[in-house]
C-alpha cells in the first residue's frame, strides 16, 4: 500500500485492510474487539464510546443533511453496543467562503436530531481552513453512552443458532445520496433513511438477553456488515434474497444503475443477531418493519451465502470498491 485511494474509504475490503494496519499499531484489548463503539469500564460503570467523521456530499439531500447524519450516525454506533447514548461532541471543519446561512441550517438540524435522539451536545470545536482544503463542511462527532443492563454483552461475534433480524428496508441512503449528488433526476424521489435507532435497540434489549451482535450497515451495505461479522465469529451466515426488505422504487433505481442493493449504504438500519428462541419477540419489539433475513449456519466458516430467489446460493463477498453505474 503506497498511496491512499478513494477505495480505502469505501467501507469495503481495502478499508478493512487499512484499518487493520492502523489497529495493530494501537492494539489493546478494548480496541481489538472492533465493534462500532468501544466498551469502557470506569470504576464499575460500563460506558460505550464511539467517534465518526462525516464528509457527505451534497450537504443536504432528500431525507437528511450532514448535521442529522453526524448526530444519528454516532448515536447509532453507541446504541450498537447495547448502550443508551447520552452525550456527543461536535467538531466542525469549515471551508473558507461557506455561506453562514448553510452553517445555521446545519446547526438547526443538529439541534433537532439531538433532541430526537435524546442526547446533548456537551463539547465542541471549530476550525476554518482555506478555500479548497475542505469540501464546504466536514463534521466529527464522538458519543458516549451507558450500558446499564446487567448481563448484556454485545460484541462482534455471533453465536451458533443465532437468527438475523433487520429493522427495515435497505439501500435508501446510498441511492438518495447518489441521485442528489449526480443530479440523476430520477422522477421518483428516494429519501435517505437517516434516523436514530437507539430506542429500537433499547426495546430489543428489553425483549431478550440473548443478543450477541448488533451492527448498523452503513458504508459497504448489509453484505459487508454481515461479512465482517462472519469473519469475526468464524461462523457461516446464510441469508435469503426473498426475505431482504427493499422498497420497489429503490430496487428499480438499483436495477437501472446496475447496483447491488446489498452493498448500498444505510443510515437508519441495524441488524441484530439473536438466539433463535427469542427471534420473534425481538422482531415484534423492533416494530412492523422488522424482518428475519437469515441465520448462522454450520460450515462455510467466515463466509456469507445468499440463497437467491431462484434457489441456488452464492457467496456475498465484502465490498472491494465503490459500485459504479453500468455503462449500457
Q: CA-to-CA distance for 282 and 82, rounded, in angstroms?
A: 14
Q: Whole-number minimum distance, CB 54 to other proteins, in Å?
A: 22
From 75-83, 139-147, 192-200, 252-260, give the range in contact with other proteins by CB under 8 A: 252-260
Instruction: Using the minimum distance from each CB to other proteins, give the nearer residue, 3 or 28.
Output: 3
Paired with 164 in beta bridges are 273, 294
Q: CA-to-CA distance for 153 and 185, rounded, in angstroms?
A: 45
Q: CA-to-CA distance for 115 and 48, rounded, in angstroms?
A: 20
Number of residues that bind other proteins (CB under 8 A): 32
Paired with 51 in beta bridges are 142
Q: Whole-number minimum distance, CB 25 to other proteins, in Å?
A: 22
Q: In this chain, which of 258, 277, 284, 301 binds other proteins, going by CB under 8 A?
A: 258
From 44-52, 114-122, 227-235, 255-263, give the range in contact with other proteins by CB under 8 A: 255-263
Q: Whole-number minimum distance, CB 302 to other proteins, in Å?
A: 14
Spell out the residues 6+ positions from residue 253 whose beta carbon is closer than 8 angstroms to its own.
Answer: 175, 179, 186, 188, 190, 259
Instruction: Using the minimum distance from each CB to other proteins, give the nearer residue, 130 or 242.
Output: 242
Instruction: Using the minimum distance from each CB to other proteins, give the nearer residue, 147 or 318.
Output: 318
Q: Whole-number minimum distance, CB 30 to other proteins, in Å?
A: 30
From 114-122, 164-172, 209-217, 311-319, give the range in contact with other proteins by CB under 8 A: 311-319
Q: In this chain, which of 9, 245, 276, 317 binds other proteins, going by CB under 8 A?
A: 317
Q: Tell me: does residue 252 bind other proteins (CB under 8 A).
A: no
Set of cell numbers at residue 43:
470504576
From 105-113, 148-156, 242-250, 305-313, give the range in contact with other proteins by CB under 8 A: 305-313
Instruction: Using the minimum distance from each CB to other proteins, give the nearer residue, 140 or 323.
Output: 323
Residue 115 sits at φ, ψ, to 5 deg, of: -65, -45
Q: Kindly provide the b/e burial profile for residues 268-302, where b requires at least 16 CB atoms within 10 angstroms of the residue's own CB.
A: bbbbbbbbeebbeebbebbeeebbbbbbbbeeeee
From 210-218, 225-233, 267-275, 313-321, give the range in contact with other proteins by CB under 8 A: 313-321
Q: In this chain, which of 112, 124, 287, 325 binds other proteins, going by CB under 8 A?
A: 325
In the DSSP assignment, the letter for residue 205 is H
Q: Tell me: does residue 324 bind other proteins (CB under 8 A).
A: yes
Q: Kindly provide the b/e burial profile for residues 103-114, where b requires at least 16 CB atoms within 10 angstroms of the residue's own CB.
A: bebbeebbeebb
- Footprint of other proteins on 163-182 (CB under 8 A): 182
Instruction: Using the minimum distance from each CB to other proteins, give the nearer residue, 21 or 120.
Output: 21
Cα dist. 35→153, 155, 225, 256, 285 in Å?
12, 6, 11, 34, 23
Question: Around Cβ 189, how many Cβ atoms within 10 Å?
Answer: 11
Question: Could you tell me the strand order of the sheet in which 84-95 lies?
Answer: 38-42, 45-54, 137-146, 84-95, 120-129
Instruction: Using the minimum distance from each CB to other proteins, give the nearer residue, 66 or 237.
Output: 237
Set of cell numbers at residue 82:
447495547
Binding mask 1-40 for other proteins (x = CB under 8 A): --x-x-------xx--------------------------
Torsion of CA 151, 157, 160, 161, to 10 degrees: 70
| List of residues contacting other proteins (CB under 8 A) | 3, 5, 13-14, 182, 184, 238, 255, 258, 260, 297, 299-300, 305, 307-315, 317, 320-321, 323-328
Amino acid at each position: 500500500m503506497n498511496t491512499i485511494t478513494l477505495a480505502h474509504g469505501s467501507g469495503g475490503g481495502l478499508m478493512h485492510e487499512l484499518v487493520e494496519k492502523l489497529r495493530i499499531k494501537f492494539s489493546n484489548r478494548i480496541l481489538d474487539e472492533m465493534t462500532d463503539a468501544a466498551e469502557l469500564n470506569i470504576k464499575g460503570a460500563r460506558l460505550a464510546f464511539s467517534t465518526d467523521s462525516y464528509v457527505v456530499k451534497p450537504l443536504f439531500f432528500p431525507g437528511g443533511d450532514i448535521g442529522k447524519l453526524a448526530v444519528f450516525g454516532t448515536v447509532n454506533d453507541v446504541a450498537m453496543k447495547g448502550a443508551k447514548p447520552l452525550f456527543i461532541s461536535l467538531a466542525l471543519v469549515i471551508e473558507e467562503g461557506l455561506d453562514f446561512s448553510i452553517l445555521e441550517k446545519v446547526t438547526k438540524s443538529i439541534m433537532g436530531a439531538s433532541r430526537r435522539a435524546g442526547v446533548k451536545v456537551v463539547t465542541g470545536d471549530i476550525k476554518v481552513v482555506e478555500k479548497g482544503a475542505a469540501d464546504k463542511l466536514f463534521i466529527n462527532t464522538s458519543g458516549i453512552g451507558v450500558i446499564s443492563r446487567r448481563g448484556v454483552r454485545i460484541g462482534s461475534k455471533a453465536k451458533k443458532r443465532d437468527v438475523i433480524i433487520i429493522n427495515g428496508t435497505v439501500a435508501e441512503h446510498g441511492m438518495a445520496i447518489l441521485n442528489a449528488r449526480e443530479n440523476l433526476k430520477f422522477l421518483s424521489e428516494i429519501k435517505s433513511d437517516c434516523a436514530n435507532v437507539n430506542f429500537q435497540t433499547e426495546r430489543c434489549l428489553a425483549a431478550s438477553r440473548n443478543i450477541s451482535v448488533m451492527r448498523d450497515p452503513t458504508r459497504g451495505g448489509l453484505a459487508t456488515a454481515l461479512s465482517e461479522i462472519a469473519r469475526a465469529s468464524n461462523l457461516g451466515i446464510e441469508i435469503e434474497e426473498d426475505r431482504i426488505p427493499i422498497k420497489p422504487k429503490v430496487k428499480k433505481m438499483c436495477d437501472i444503475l446496475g447496483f447491488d442493493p446489498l452493498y448500498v449504504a444505510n443510515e437508519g438500519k441495524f441488524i441484530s443477531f439473536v438466539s433463535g428462541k427469542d427471534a420473534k419477540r425481538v422482531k415484534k419489539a423492533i416494530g412492523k418493519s422488522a424482518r428475519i433475513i437469515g441465520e448462522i449456519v454450520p460450515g462455510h466458516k467466515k463466509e456469507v451465502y445468499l440463497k437467491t430467489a431462484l434457489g441456488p446460493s452464492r457467496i456475498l463477498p465484502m465490498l472491494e470498491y465503490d459500485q459504479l453505474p453500468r455503462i449500457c
